Chain A
Amino acid sequence: MKKLMALLLVLTMAMSVASAFADDAKVLHFGEINPKVGYDPQTNTNSRATTIEECVVEGLYFWNDQNEEIPVLAKDFPTISEDGLVYTFSLREGVYFSNGTELTSEDVKYTFERMFTPATGALSTYMYNMIAGAKEMLAGEATELSGFEIVDKYTFKITLTQPFSCFTKNLGIVYAAIFPKDACEAAGSDWGIGTLVGTGPYILGEHDNSSVTLNKNPNYWGSEPHFDQIIVTLFDDENTKLLAFENGDLDLCQVPTDLYLQYQGTETANKFHIYYPLGTVFLSLNLSEEFNGEKNPLADVKVREAISMAIDRETLVEFIDNGLGTVATGTVNPAQLGFVQREAYPYDPDGAKALLAEAGYPDGVSFTAQIRSTDQPDMVQIQSDLAAAGIDMKLELVDAATWTSLRNAGNAQCEWMGWFPLYADPDNNIYSYFHSSNAPGKSVFYNNPEFDALMDAARISTDDEERGDLYAQADEIMSRQDYACIPLYYPNYVFAAQDYVTNFTVGNLIYQICYDVDFK
C-alpha cells in the first residue's frame, strides 16, 4: 500500500512538473489547411507546406516578409565573375544543423546534386537548371554536378551555363534549402515525411495529418526564436478553422475570401488584417490557332481585347470578391519590379461587340473555360458579363487533378488563374508563365519574339533599373497590346490574429510564422 502511495505521489509530482512546464511554455498556435504532401521542399511546391518547412530548413538566402532578400547561410551575397557565369559563395562559419553536424560546402553540393537526381523527383529544377551539369544530371547522363566546385570547407563556386541575373534571387526560395548530407542520405525516402533536419529556428517534432509540432532549436545560430513551440493545427475545412480561431484555439490563421463577408459586423472581424501579396488574378487563354480540331477564336487578338472590354472588373472585385483586391491594369503586380501605373482597362460591352464584328464574329464567339469549384464565383460573374457582349463562355467544371492535367497537356482553352511570384521580380511569375519556352505547359501558347527578347534581356541584365524598364515594356506588350491573358485584379490576403499577436505581415505568397511574429 505504501509503495502504491509513493508511486502515486511521484506520478502526481511528475504530472505537475510537466503541466507547469506546459503552462510556462510560449506556444504559437497556427491554423492551416492540410497541405497533404510531405515536407521536402524539393519535392513539393505547396505554399502551405512551405510555411512549415521554412521554420525548419534554411537556404543560402531568404526573402523576408518585406520582400527583401537577406543572406542566411551564406555570409554575404556572392561575388560574380565579369562574364556573369561564376558565382563564389562563402558560408557562414560555425552554423550547425539541429542534429549537431556542422554546415559545410559538402552539404550544399549534396543538396543540389540531390535536386538534379531524377529519382528525387524535384519540382523546381527549372529555377536552378542553368548550373553547368544540371541538365546532364536531370537527363541521367551524369551523377555529379560539374558546375559545382568546392573551394574549401566554407567556400564554393557555382558556374552557370549562361548569365542569369535572378540566380541569387532563386537561391532565396526555400526550394533551395540546404540539407545535411549524412542525415538526408540516411533518411532516404523518409526525408520530408518522418524526417526533416535543417539549420532553422525550429525542429520538426511530432507531426501527422492533424498537426505539426515545431520545437524551438536551442542551438539556433541566429537570434533566439520567439516561441518555445509552434503548433500548426491542420484543418480540412475553412469553416472549422475559423471556428477554432473564434474559440481561442488558434492565435493566427488565414481567412478565405468567401468567409470574409460572413464575419463582417462580428467581433471576430475586428481581428482581421488585410495584406497585399505579389500575385495577380487573370483569365489564362489558349492562343493556339486550333483547339479540339476547330478554329480557336481566342487566337484572334481582337476577340481577346473584346473579352477584356466586356468584363466589369470593379463589380467583380467589389461584389464577388468582397472588395478584397485591386482592379488590375497589367499582369505585373504593383509591388513588383517593372510595375507601371496605367489607365484602367475600359469596360465597354458595346465596344466589345463592335470589336467582335471587326474580327469577323458579328454573331459573337463561343469558347469553353475549364474551371475548378473554387473558380466558380468569379467565373460565373465573368460569364454573365461576357454574355452581355455576345460572348458565350461555357463553363466546364472539373476536379483539380483533371484541371491540372488538361492544362499541362495544352488541352485547356480558358482558366481562372491566381499566379503568385515567390519574390518581387517578374522573372519568377511572368517569365515562368508567358515566355514561349514555358507557355505551352500552361495551355497558353503565347509566342511573341519581341516579348521573349525583352524577357530574355531582363534575365541577363544586372541593372535593376534597366530590368524594370524591360519588364514594363514586356508587360505593356503582353497585357495591353496582345492581351495574351486578361488581367483581372491583384488579390488580397486576409489573416485573423488574436489581439496579442504582433509583427505578423505578409509580403509574398509564403507567409512566415517563425521569425518576427511574437506575443505582446
Chain B
Amino acid sequence: MSRYLLGRVFQAVGVILAISLITFFILNVIPGDPVQLMMGEFATPEAIAQVRAQMGLDQPIYKQYFGWLGNMLRGDFGVSYFQHRPVLDMLLNSFGYTARLAVFAYVLALVFGLVFGILAAVFHNKFLDRLLMTLSIAGVSAPNFWVAIILQIYFGLTLKWFPISGAKAFNYYVLPAVALGTRYAASISRITRTSMLEVTKQDYMRTASAKGVHGWMLVMKHAFRNALIPVVTVAGTDLGNILTGSMLIETVFTIDGIGKLMVDAINQRDLPLVQGGVMYIAVICVVIYLLVDILYAVIDPRIRLGGGAEG
C-alpha cells in the first residue's frame, strides 16, 4: 500500500511538472503580447523592450521556465501583470470563495443525488422513479448559467428570499450553490440509480433476501455499499470540477472565485496568474483522483492497491 502510494505521488509530481511545462510553452506562443497589452497602444518600441527586459521576458524561453519553476518551488508564483499582486495571494483569496461555494454545492449534490438515486432504484419503474429521472434529465440538460438567471429572477428579484449577487454571507451562497449543484446532483442520482439496479440483480442480494434481510437494511447495507464504486468515480470527478471553479456561476453571481480569476487572467494574458491557476487546478485534480483510487480500496476490499488492478 505504502509503495503504491509513493509510486502514485511520484507519478502525480511528474504529471504536474508536465502540465506546468506544456502550459508555459503554450502561453508563450499564443497571440497577445502581455507587455504590449500592459503598456498600451502609445508605448514606443523602446519602452516595450525596456519593460520586457525588466520582467525577464527577453530571456530564452527555457531560462524563463526554469526561473519560474525555481521560484514556484520556493512558494513564489510571481506577480500578476495587471493587478500587481502576488499570484499566490490572489489564488488563495479566490480559493476561499470557490471552496465555500464548492462545499455548499457538493453537499447539496451528494445529498440530493444519492437520495434521489436510491429512491429511484427502490421504486424502479414506479411513478417516483419516473418523476425523479425526468427531473434529473432536466437537471443534466439545463445549462447552469440559465438555471442561475432563473433562480436570480424568481428567488432574488420576485420573492426577495436571497441576494442575487455577491458572497458576503452564507445566504449569498444559496442560489449559486443550487445553480452549480443541480447538474451534479442530477448526474449523481442517475449513476446511483443505474448502479443500484445493477447490484440488485446480483446473487448475493437474493441470498441476503432469502436470509431474511429486508427493507432499508437490504437497500443500504447490501445494495448501496456495493453500488458505490461507480458513484465514487463520478462524485470524485465532480468534486474536482467543482473545486476548480465554475466560471459561469461565479460570473453571474459575482463571486470572486478561481474559475472567474482564471478566465480573466487568460483574457488579459496575465501569464503568471494563468500559470499559477493551472498549477492549482492540476494539483487539485491529481490529488482528488489519487484519493478516489484509495477510496476504491476502502469501499471494495477486492480492489487491492498495488496489485495491478487499481486502474
Contact = CB atoms under 8 A, between A and B. Distances in A.
B259 to A, nearest CB: 11
Contact of A209 (B32, B156, B160, B256): B256
A193 B84 contact: yes
Contacts of B43: 123
A402 B164 contact: no
A399 interface: yes
A360 interface: no
B93 to A, nearest CB: 8
B37 A243 contact: no
Interface string B154-172: 0011001001111100000
Interface in A201-241: 208-211, 233-237, 239-240
A405 B82 contact: no
A438 B32 contact: no
B183 interface: no
A139 B42 CA distance: 15
Contact of B41 (A37, A209, A234, A407): A407
Interface stretch (B45-53, B64-72, B127-135, B289-297): B45-53
Interface string B250-263: 11111110001000
A233 B51 CA distance: 33
A38 B40 contact: no
A257 B231 CA distance: 47
B268 interface: yes
A37 B82 contact: yes
A68 interface: no
Contact of B47 (A36, A138, A408): A138
Contacts of B46: 139
Given A233-B166, A247-B157, A36 B254 contact: no
Contacts of A45: 40
B38 interface: yes
Contacts of B38: 121
Contacts of A247: 156-157, 160, 164
A399 B32 contact: yes
Given A138-B47, A405-B31, A405-B32, A240 B253 contact: yes
B267 A400 contact: yes
Nearest to B248: A237
A432 B32 contact: no
A399 B253 CA distance: 23
A236 B264 CA distance: 10
A243 B82 contact: no
Given A36-B83, A210-B166, A402-B32, A239 B149 contact: yes
Contacts of B82: 36-38
Nearest to A432: B42
Contacts of A400: 267
Given A121-B51, A193-B85, A247-B157, A401 B165 contact: no
A240 B267 contact: no
Given A240-B152, A405-B36, A438 B42 contact: yes
B103 to A, nearest CB: 19
A126 interface: yes
Contact of B37 (A140, A401, A432): A401
A140 B50 contact: yes
A404 B256 contact: no
B54 interface: yes
Interface string B84-121: 11000000010000000000000000000000000000
A193 B83 contact: yes
A384 interface: no
- Which of B30, B44, B153 has its CB near the most chain A CB atoms (within 10 A)? B44
A406 interface: yes
A399 B267 contact: yes
A441 B42 contact: yes
A269 to B, nearest CB: 16
B41 A210 contact: no
B156 A401 contact: no
B252 A240 contact: yes
Contacts of B51: 118, 121
Contacts of A236: 250-252, 254, 260
A426 B47 CA distance: 26
Interface string A409-449: 10000000000000000000000100000100110000000
Contact of A243 (B157, B167, B267, B269): B157
A392 interface: no
Nearest to B33: A405
B171 to A, nearest CB: 14
Contacts of B208: none
A405 B83 contact: no
Contacts of B85: 193
B172 to A, nearest CB: 10
A404 B42 CA distance: 12
B39 interface: yes
A246 interface: yes
A189 B165 CA distance: 31
A126 B42 CA distance: 7
A405 B54 CA distance: 20
- Which of B41, B50, B166 has its CB near the most chain A CB atoms (within 10 A)? B41
Contacts of A118: 47, 50-51, 54
11 contacts: A38-B83, A118-B47, A138-B44, A208-B93, A209-B256, A237-B252, A240-B253, A243-B153, A401-B31, A406-B31, A441-B41
Interface of B: 30-33, 36-44, 46-47, 50-51, 54, 79, 82-85, 93, 149, 152-153, 156-157, 160, 163-167, 250-256, 260, 264, 267-269
What 3 pairs between A and B have smallest CB-CB spacing? A401-B32, A209-B256, A123-B40
Given A37-B83, A38-B84, A401-B32, 15 more contacts: A36-B83, A126-B42, A138-B47, A192-B84, A209-B256, A210-B167, A236-B254, A236-B260, A243-B153, A243-B157, A401-B37, A401-B268, A405-B37, A432-B42, A438-B42
